[in-house]
Amino acid sequence: MLEQELLTTDIQLVRRLNRDTILGLIRERGPISRTALARLAGLTPATAFSIVQELEQEGLVREKGIGPSQGGRRPMLFEFNPQSRAVIGVNIRSAQVLGVLTHLDASLRVTIARDYELEPNADVVQLVKEVIHELMAASPLPPEKLIGIGVAVPGLVDVDRGVVVESRNWGWEELPIREMLAQDFDLPIYIEEDDNALALGEWFFGAGQGVSNVVCVKIGRGLGAGIIVNGMLFRGPDNAAGEIAHILVDPEGPRCHCGNYGCLDRLVSAPAIAERAIKGLKQGAASSLRTRLGDDLDRVTVAMIAEAANAGDRFACQVMEETGRYLGIGIATLVNLLNPDLVIIGGGVILAGAPLLESVRHVVKLRALPVPGRRVQIVPAKLGVEAPAIGAATFVMLKERVLPSQGLARFI
Ligand SMILES: [Zn+2]
């Protein structure tokens, strides 16, 4: 690269970073004056003024009244304008495609969910397209305000290429999902792995706001984690980081499809919890679930067990406490390994509330090393079932630079 080109690139990079800083400050501290922004960002007033002007022209920032005088003229104040753009986030779930159309503060405008049967020939990508079309039709904003589409996909995802490298339950291998969607939509499209999307959503808009070191554990049909280290999503070179399903928890436990025994996945994933509950019920355990299901005990789901536990059903509480103990062993390993400030637990299990969470907290306190064990907080996810879809939308906002990043996350 020629020296002049290098210099131009450097200038662009610095301007981008300054813009991120100013946008971040306005979002967090607004309404705020341009002089205060310059001081807080360590920039000259001229630079800060020109960046605010640029952001205002784009509509991302708007005037919000006049501040008190600091000795001279009273300054104009500026605030972030989250309603200036809309984003679509879609999550491919195990039997449902769930999409949201949201503003830049993740306030939901429209949610659309379509169920499907997970069969070998299910055309899930077509269903994703239909959900996106419906969301676009339902958008109250003009089309030019829609900045992009994010899709949270289960499995191993190549984020740069927009390809699902492998997704076992869906039978996908090297599925060029971004290219397939681009045939229908002339918008920037980003593909993200669903556990990472969940972590991004919770980090920016849910339980993890403002925290730099977060592990977000999702319990569903499978088990996964999104890891944020020093304000940056940790992906690993193959986007394969966070695969916690096969942490060994109980060598005497049930056999896992990976060939080992007692993996976390076989003890705390949704099917594993249901399996334990069904076994207990068939052995004659007394429970309100029996009344609810009659003879059809095999229909029990994690959500049913979690709700029963939350309502005080003793058997369901025992199942959730046991789940919490296994999960706690796995999380203690993560706590020792990563020293996070916060562990967020997501998925239907959190409906159980205290019986699960208290059990996890207790085991982590017992098993993690004292210093990281004292620091870590363990909390339930806040965004509910929409979290990965909101996270996919968050990924679009970051990539399209309409959302100021937190810390080093600007480089994700
Ligand atoms: Zn395993």
Domain of 63: which CATH number? 1.10.10.10
Give the bridge partners for 79, in sequence order: 62
- For residues 220 and 273, membership in a common domain is answered with yes
Compute the average pLDDT of residues 267-286. 93
Q: Please state, in angstroms and rounded to a whole number, the distance separating the CA atoms of residues 324 and 329.
A: 9
Half-sphere exposure of 124 (CA within 13 A, CB side): 28
Q: Are residues 352 and 365 in the same domain?
A: yes
Helical packing angle, 194-205 and 387-399, nearest 10°: 80
DSSP β-bridge partners for residue 157: 164
> Residue 137's pLDDT is what?
93
More confident residue, 295 or 146: 146
Taking the C-alpha atoms of residue 186 and residue 297, their distance in angstroms, rounded to an integer, is 48
Angstrom CA distances, 112 to 21, 90, 138, 200, stand at: 34, 9, 10, 21
| Res 1: pLDDT | 52
Which pLDDT belongs to residue 11?
A: 83
- Within 8 A by CB and 6+ apart from 280, the residues are 287, 315, 318, 319
Cα of 256 vs centre of ligand 1, distance in Å, is 5
42 and 184 within one domain: no
Indicate whether 360 and 249 sit together in one domain: yes
CA of 109 to the centre of ligand 1 (A): 40
What percent of the chain clears pLDDT 90, i.e. is strictly above it?
72
C-alpha of residue 349 to centroid of ligand 1, in Å? 20
Please name the amino acid found at residue 17. Answer: L
Last residue of a domain, one of 56, 80, 104: 80
The predicted pLDDT at position 30 comes to 86
Split at pLDDT 50, 70, 90, the class of 393 is very high
CB 97 within 8 Å of CB 90: yes
Q: What is the dihedral of CA 82, 86, 89, 95, to 10 degrees?
A: 110
257 and 371 share one domain: yes
Whether 39 shows a pLDDT value over 70: the answer reads yes
Helix pair 302-310, 354-367: axis angle to 10 deg: 90
For residue 399, report the distance from its CA to the centre of ligand 1, in Å. Answer: 34
Backbone conformation region of residue 346, classed left if phi is above 0, alpha if psi is from -120 to 50, else beta: beta
Measure 262 CA to ligand 1 centroid, in angstroms. 7
Same domain as 106, residue 13: no
Question: What is the number of structural domains in the chain?
Answer: 3
Rounded to the nearest whole angstrom, what is the distance from the C-alpha of residue 326 to the centroid of ligand 1?
Answer: 14
CA of 251 to the centre of ligand 1 (A): 11
Render pLDDT for 174-202 as a digit per residue (tens, 0 to 9). Answer: 999 999 999 999 999 999 999 999 999 99
Range 55-71 average pLDDT: 89
- Its domain, for residue 260, covers 209-381
Mean pLDDT of the chain: 91
Whether 66 and 90 map to the same domain: the answer is no
| Residue 393, Ramachandran bin (φ over 0: left; ψ between -120 and 50: alpha; else beta) | alpha
Kindly state whether residues 139 and 238 are assigned to the same domain. no
Q: What is the pLDDT of residues 282-337, one digit of tens each?
A: 999 999 998 888 888 899 999 899 999 999 999 999 999 999 999 999 999 999 99
Please say which residue of 23, 47, 80 terminates a domain: 80
Q: What was the pLDDT predicted at 412? A: 39
pLDDT tens digit string along 397-409?
A: 999 988 876 554 3
Same domain? For 55 and 74 the reply is yes
Between 149 and 18, residue with greater pLDDT: 149
Amino acid at 150: G
- Whichever domain contains 315, its CATH number is 3.30.420.40
pLDDT band, very low/low/confident/very high, at 411 (cuts 50, 70, 90): very low
In this predicted model, which residue has the larger pLDDT, 16 or 334?
334
Does position 70 have pLDDT exceeding 80, yes or no?
A: no
Mean pLDDT of 253-274: 93
- Taking the centre of ligand 1 as the mean of its atom positions, its distance from the CA of residue 401, in whole angstroms, is 39
Nearest to 27 by CA among 199, 210, 150, 208: 210
Give me the mean pLDDT over the 229-236 stretch: 90
Centre of ligand 1 to C-alpha 252, Å, is: 13
**Distance from the CA of 245 to the center of ligand 1, in angstroms?**
6
Instruction: Using a pLDDT cut of 70, give the percent of the chain over it.
Output: 96
Residues 258, 360 share a domain: yes
Q: How many CA atoms lie within 13 A of 330 on its CB side?
A: 33
Give residue-wise pLDDT tens across range 87-138. Answer: 999 999 988 999 999 999 998 779 999 999 877 767 999 999 999 999 999 9
Q: Ligand 1 center to residue 378 CA distance, Å?
A: 24
Q: Does 190 share its domain with 260?
A: no
Smallest CA-to-CA distance from 350 within 380, 328, 376 is with 380
Tell me whether residue 73 is exposed, middle or buried, using C-beta atoms within 10 angstroms of its C-beta: 0 to 12, 13 to 18, 19 or more: exposed
Among 47, 80, 113, the domain-final residue is 80
**One domain, residues 187 and 231:** no
> What pLDDT score does 408 carry?
40
